[in-house]
Each structure stands twice: as structure tokens, then as C-alpha cells.
Amino acid sequence: MKVIGLTRGSTEEQVCTLAAQTEKIRGFAAAFGHELVDIFEDAGQSGKSLNRPGLQAALEAIRDGRAQGLLVAKLCRLSRSVVDLDTLVRTYFADTAKYHAALLVVDQHIDTGTAHGRMLLNVLMSINQGERELIAERTRAALQHLKSQGVKLGGVRAAATLADPLTVARVMELRAAGKTLRDIAGALTAEGYDTLRGGKWGAETVRKILAREAA
């Protein structure tokens, strides 16, 4: 099967990340006998948007019939948005999709060309959605706790130049749980919170957010 590879990495880690993803994609294609037509990159691009040059070029290749499958190293490299991922699946990778292409994910062993692969993808999408809802629920609880303690939330708006209100609330929640600045930065990156520049979270940025909250 002819496949298009797609990689995505944040600004700060893209050199290492994109190279590692490319290696996985090439190895997977060779191991399973797929013809790798091309590999497109989304360097420094957020996984919460479908409006990315690499992704759009890959989808165009599928629409044009140049490839019958899209190959990514990890599902989050394709999208971090459950809604966007569902849109892609319904349009390109489902049995009833208009283009009926296959989505291949190396690390999660997904191949939507099989019933098992489609089932696994649906399970992972449900898990991701559940995790997002749990994070939102905890964030709302943290904000409500701050209000009950008489804390003014104007600092959340003041910190908008660093992060959106939900991210600020998540930072405060993790700090209240005793997490270090480095731990908080790592958690924000792992949970898919975007930075203004699209890179990984750093301890210094977390410190600035907390400092503004305490002001």
C-alpha cells in the first residue's frame, strides 16, 4: 500500500522529535511492505489544530489518490483534539469515509484497515476524551476552591499573556498538590496544554504564572 508519512514536533524539541518519528515511520513502512511515497513535516505546530501545512499536504495526497494510507509515529502527532480526530476519521479513515484510506499508527499498533485497528482507535479516542473531561472537571473544582477561599481571580486574566485561564488554573492545582515547577511544566506538556510559541512548557514560565497569581 502506498502511504504518506506525517511528523509533528514542537519548536523546542522538533529536531530530535521529527528525526525520531521519521525513523519509526521508515522502519514501519519497510517492515510491513508499504511504499512510503513521501513524509511531510509540521515543525513547531500545535496538535490542537488541523490547519497545519504538513497535515494538509498529506490529506491532499490521499484525496488525489497518490496514497491510500497515512502513517504517523503516535496518535498525538496527528491530533491532540478528540473532535478534530473524529472529523479526520469520519472523513478519511472510517469504513464509510469518503476517501476510505487507512490510518497507521506505529506506537499504538493501529491499522484502521482492519476491524481490530478501528476498534482500538475508538477505544483510545474515548480514553483521550475521558482524560480531557477529568482535567476540565479538576480545573473547575480548583477555580471554585480559590473563590471559596476569597482569592481574587483577576490574576488569571493578568496571566493571559503567558497562558489561558484553564491552563493557569491547572498550574495552580498542581502547585497546590505540592508539585515542583519542573513537575508542573512536564505535566502541562504531557497533557497537551499549548504554550504561546508552540513549544514545551518550561519551569521558568510556570514560575512567572505563579508569581503573577501571587501578586
Instruction: Give the pLDDT of residue 62.
Output: 96
- Answer yes or no: do 149 and 87 share one domain: no
Summarize the confidence of residues 93-102 as an average pLDDT. Answer: 84
- Answer yes or no: do 85 and 137 share one domain: no
The domain boundary, picked from 55, 81, 113, lies at 113
- Answer yes or no: do 106 and 22 share one domain: yes
Q: pLDDT band for position 64 (50/70/90)?
A: very high
> Is position 123 within any domain?
no
- Count CA atoms within 13 Å of residue 114 on its CB side: 8
Q: pLDDT band for position 44 (50/70/90)?
A: confident
- Answer yes or no: do 155 and 207 share one domain: yes
The string of pLDDT tens digits covering residues 69-81 is 999 998 888 987 7
Q: Does pLDDT of 118 surpass 50?
A: yes
Residue 46 designated active-site: no
Of 10, 46, 81, 126, which one is the catalytic site residue?
A: 10
- Which residues have C-beta within 8 Å of that of residue 151, sequence separation ≥ 6? none
Q: Which residue has the cell 472510517?
A: 94
Query: Do 111 and 122 touch, CB atoms closer than 8 A?
Result: no
Instruction: Give the pLDDT of residue 210.
Output: 83
Q: Does pLDDT of 164 surpass 50?
A: yes
Domain count, the chain: 2
Q: Which CATH number characterizes residue 59's domain?
A: 3.40.50.1390
Distance CA 97, CA 91 (A): 5
Instruction: Give the pLDDT of residue 83.
Output: 80
Q: pLDDT band for position 155 (50/70/90)?
A: very low
Summarize the confidence of residues 172-195 as an average pLDDT. Answer: 84
C-alpha cell, 52? 497545519
Helix ranges (H only) for 149-180 are 154-158, 165-176
Structural domain harbouring 103: 2-113
- Answer yes or no: do 78 and 156 share one domain: no
